[in-house]
Amino acid sequence: MNLKSILTLFCLIICLRAGAQKSEISHVVTHSRATIICDPGGKGENPYPAWSVFPKADYPIRKVTMHVTLGSPDGLLTAHWDYLDHIVLRRKGGAHGQVLNYELGRMLTPYGSIYNKGWSWKWQVDVTDFAPFLRDSVEIVYVHSGYEDKTVGWALTIDFEILSGPPVVTPLGITTLWNKAYKYGDPKEKIEENLLPISYELISGAALSRIRMQHTGHGMDKPRGCSEFCSRWRELVLDGKVVDRRDMWKKCGNNPLYPQGGTWIFDRAYWCPGDLQQPDVIDVFTKPGSHKVSLQMEPYTATENIQAVENISAYLFHYSAPTQKIDVAVESIMVPSDEQRFSRLNPASSGPHISFRNLGADPIRSLTIVYGTDGFPSKTFHWKGNLPFNKVAEVVLPGEIQEKDGENVFNVMLIQPNGKKDAWSADNEMKAVFTAPEKFPSEFVLQFLTNKQPKDNSIFLVNAQQDTVFQKTASQLAAVTLYTDTIRLSAGTHSLHLIDTAGNGLQFWAQPKNGDGYLRLFDMKGNLIHAFESDCGNGEMFSFKVVPGFEVDSTIARYAFSMFPRSVVDQTQLSVVSNKLSDMTVQITVDGIVWQKHEYKSVKNAVFSYDLKHLPTGRIIVEAFMDGISKFKGRINKGR
């Protein structure tokens, strides 16, 4: 870009900032660290209602994002099981108001037994479709399912983030479609007998039918393990035309929340443990008059243990046509970011990764993106494509990510969509806080111990220009072999990637036949400076900034642990590698009760064996405290 173009662009940005529309962000917190537990002696559901005051009916709402946080509870252990929870808008207008029972979100709880006090995780989902009902006095209910003992639970926070501004489409009404757990594969009650076509009349003034659906499969039948562990297709049909078809299956090995204390890596029926499900949203522009919508599932009949259900809630929203022709909004900054949901992508050395949504009637075919870190020169990128209404585009932007040490702020601005002025510029900008990669020496030693399935793994090291400077591919690896390599790098940011194509990491407790592997980094004096998580599903990335002459502070304790096997009958081993001597305490507990406690003095590099024959069968937790601080917590499953 020449100087004249840069000056013109700069002036345009200043003008856009000066004339930008104003927007406010407000928050309504309905549940604030509410302790939620199961009802094991009842129906397996425990509702947690809360009344809150939302904006008045005449308040202009642009967007509503529901943030859901689960954390370790006060006074209880963290719950373990992956239960299906519903977040429901029960009623509005006070205790005697209209009962609605609209499902806003669907939480699949994580396996939390390995999480300590102070742990929490935050998810989010767009619930703007329900904005007409999130007005005045509203009752929000979190329905927690399951049969765990009342000694375990979660700390729940639900926070509605409300962005003011003109609506993208005018809401005119809602039609409830399906809202039930439907039997699947049952020869006595076929699902097509319950998922009957629904006729509706398009409300006057409406031009868009939006179908929003939450759908998960549960149960474990034969022969296919439906519905939790079987892939099956689903079709949505409107007026005789298939408008959406998808396989109801989700890969779980890339979950940002890892590791977990159970079978978190196992792919499932459109959900994963530890996830706030994102709804399917299907937009169909429809003409006035009568219409018919139907849902069809892949035909299937179970033969044994018939228990599969398809849990579905679906709503049809009647909307006007988009209110503006040209309207885009920044959806997210994925890289660089400190947000938990993007933790697998960060920190990163290069390639800022953003997404934006088209909120206007016209397809977006061109766009200028201005981006950069506070305190550094901005960069520009000219995007071209063909983005229809309400669709999202993800863009990896060119260049290195510039940063100062510690905390930084990254900025993105969208300008000139289709070469024109955006209809609402208040959502064209976004900021993300991110932490710079840690400093690292230019020389270090890489140790890679393969497990029994080395064909699943590879590692590669890239610089900020994305040049591969070191690699070990699957074809180069032998089983149960320790590879030790001295790495010498030039100054700059680098990223080390561990890849697992099978999605089960270098070790997984429920698959002991795959063995135990690790990836660790040491300085030239033999001090541990970084350890990858072996229970990492699809893999893990570590970015760092090489500074010639830099030495990692060896007085700061760093630890690497390995416990194997974790599916046991009689005994297991726990190994610890550290860069300093520490006093170590190991506690072995069952359902929160300590069965064994072991004390060790001045531990640095050691292997310890534990006899578990006298412990009960089931889930066992092994926790290691180094100088009084919990540094490792792992799950064992003991059989007979």
Over residues 119-174, the pLDDT tens digits come to 999 999 999 999 999 999 999 999 999 999 999 999 999 999 999 999 999 999 99
Q: Is 540 helix (H, G, I), strand (E, B) or coil?
A: strand
CB 400 within 8 A of CB 352: no
From the list 332, 129, 320, the residue with the least C-alpha distance to 213 is: 129
Show Cβ contacts of residue 15 under 8 Å, excluding neighbours closer than 6 positions.
none
Give the pLDDT score at 4.
37
Q: What is the C-alpha end-to-end distance of the chain, expressed in Å?
A: 70
What is the Cα–Cα distance from 412 to 328, expressed in whole angstroms?
Answer: 13
CB 132 within 8 A of CB 318: no
| DSSP secondary structure code for residue 535 in this structure | S
Q: Which residues pair with 254 in a beta bridge?
A: none
What is the Cα–Cα distance from 470 to 459, expressed in whole angstroms?
Answer: 8
Give the pLDDT score at 336.
98
Give the pLDDT score at 6.
35
Q: Which residue has the higher pLDDT, 12 or 367?
A: 367
What is the Cα–Cα distance from 602 to 569, expressed in whole angstroms?
Answer: 30
Q: What is the pLDDT of residues 88-114, one digit of tens each?
A: 999 999 888 989 999 999 999 999 999
Give the pLDDT score at 23.
84
The HSE-up count of residue 379 (CA atoms within 13 Å, CB side) is 14
| Residue positions counted in the chain | 640
| DSSP secondary structure code for residue 616 in this structure | P
What are the Cα distances from residue 256, in Å, to 110, 122, 339, 498, 520? Answer: 11, 11, 10, 15, 21
**Of 6-20, 50-64, 106-120, where does mean pLDDT reach its minimum?**
6-20
Q: Is 10 helix (H, G, I), strand (E, B) or coil?
A: helix
Q: What is the pLDDT of residues 468-527, one digit of tens each?
A: 999 999 999 999 999 999 999 999 999 999 999 999 999 999 999 999 999 999 999 999
Give the pLDDT score at 258.
97
The pLDDT confidence band at residue 42, using thresholds 50, 70 and 90, is confident
What is the Cα–Cα distance from 57 to 50, expressed in whole angstroms?
Answer: 20
The pLDDT confidence band at residue 303, using thresholds 50, 70 and 90, is very high
Within 10 Å of residue 93's Cβ, how many Cβ atoms?
Answer: 14
Percent of residues, the chain, with pLDDT higher than 70: 97
Q: Is 565 helix (H, G, I), strand (E, B) or coil?
A: coil
CB 144 within 8 A of CB 46: yes
Give the pLDDT score at 343.
97
Q: Is 39 helix (H, G, I), strand (E, B) or coil?
A: coil
402 phi and psi angles, rounded to 5 deg: -90, 145
What is the Cα–Cα distance from 16 to 415, expressed in whole angstroms?
Answer: 8
What are the Cα distances from residue 615, in Å, to 35, 416, 619? Answer: 30, 67, 10
CB 636 within 8 A of CB 122: no
* Helix, strand, coil distribution of the chain in percent, nearest 5: 5, 50, 40
What are the Cα distances from residue 456, in Å, to 87, 498, 622? Answer: 38, 10, 28
What is the Cα–Cα distance from 114 to 621, expressed in whole angstroms?
Answer: 7
Give the pLDDT score at 3.
32
Give the pLDDT score at 41.
83
Look-up: residue for tokens 């002991």? Answer: 512
| DSSP secondary structure code for residue 57 in this structure | T
What is the Cα–Cα distance from 559 to 542, expressed in whole angstroms?
Answer: 16
What is the Cα–Cα distance from 253 to 632, expressed in whole angstroms?
Answer: 21
Q: Is 189 helix (H, G, I), strand (E, B) or coil?
A: coil
CB 177 within 8 A of CB 317: no
Give the pLDDT score at 95.
86
Percent of residues, the chain, with pLDDT higher than 90: 93
Show Cβ contacts of residue 519 under 8 Å, excluding neighbours closer than 6 positions.
446, 447, 448, 449, 459, 498, 506, 531, 532, 534
The pLDDT confidence band at residue 12, using thresholds 50, 70 and 90, is very low
The pLDDT confidence band at residue 413, using thresholds 50, 70 and 90, is very high
Mean of pLDDT values over 429-453: 97
- The pLDDT mean for the chain works out to 94
Q: Is 242 helix (H, G, I), strand (E, B) or coil?
A: strand
The pLDDT confidence band at residue 5, using thresholds 50, 70 and 90, is very low
What are the Cα distances from residue 528, in Å, to 128, 462, 548, 551, 559? Answer: 48, 21, 18, 12, 7
The pLDDT confidence band at residue 17, using thresholds 50, 70 and 90, is very low
CB 352 within 8 A of CB 336: yes
Mean of pLDDT values over 7-11: 39
Long-range contacts of 351-354 (CB under 8 A, 24+ apart): 351/396, 351/397, 351/398, 351/399, 351/401, 351/466, 352/396, 352/397, 352/399, 352/401, 352/410, 352/412, 353/394, 353/395, 353/396, 353/397, 354/330, 354/394, 354/395, 354/397, 354/412, 354/430
**Of 38-47, 167-176, 340-349, 441-450, where does mean pLDDT reach its minimum?**
38-47
List b or e across 289-299, with b for residues whose CB sees 16 or more CB atoms inside 10 angstroms.
eebebbbbbee
Q: Does pLDDT of 69 surpass 50?
A: yes
The pLDDT confidence band at residue 8, using thresholds 50, 70 and 90, is very low
Look-up: residue for tokens 């009760």? Answer: 593
CB 566 within 8 A of CB 259: no
Q: What is the pLDDT of residues 351-395, one digit of tens each?
A: 999 999 999 999 999 999 999 999 999 999 999 999 999 999 999
Calculate ∠ Cα 26-30-35, nearest 5°: 140
Q: Does pLDDT of 580 surpass 80?
A: yes
Mean of pLDDT values over 337-350: 96
Give the pLDDT score at 10.
39
From the list 492, 485, 472, 565, the residue with the least C-alpha distance to 520 is: 485
The HSE-up count of residue 559 (CA atoms within 13 Å, CB side) is 22
